[in-house]
Amino acid sequence: MLLKQLEYFVCVVDNNSFTQAATEQYVSQSAISQQIKVLENSLGVELMVREKRSFHLTPAGHIYIDLGRSY
């Protein structure tokens, strides 16, 4: 797990938006989405359930958001 990936995840959750998080992090929306997928794959858990234009955190996502905010 890279800290940057965790930072992206926290930013998406805090903004409730992949697009807004990408703007704040100065990367593309697809880059943010890809890096969160890589984070999920490296952890072996799904952190969020993506829906059409929204998402919600899984139980693992709630744990990792707290961990990410502590950094």
Q: Is residue 47 packed enough to be buried (19+ CB in 10 Å), middle (13-18) or exposed (0-12)?
A: buried
Give pLDDT tens digits for 8-56: 999 999 999 999 999 999 999 999 999 999 999 999 999 999 998 899 9
pTM of full prediction above 0.85: yes
Give pLDDT tens digits for 1-16: 588 999 999 999 999 9
Token readout for 41 is 């794959």
CA dihedral 41→45→51→52, nearest 10 degrees, is -10
Beta-ladder partners of 49: 56
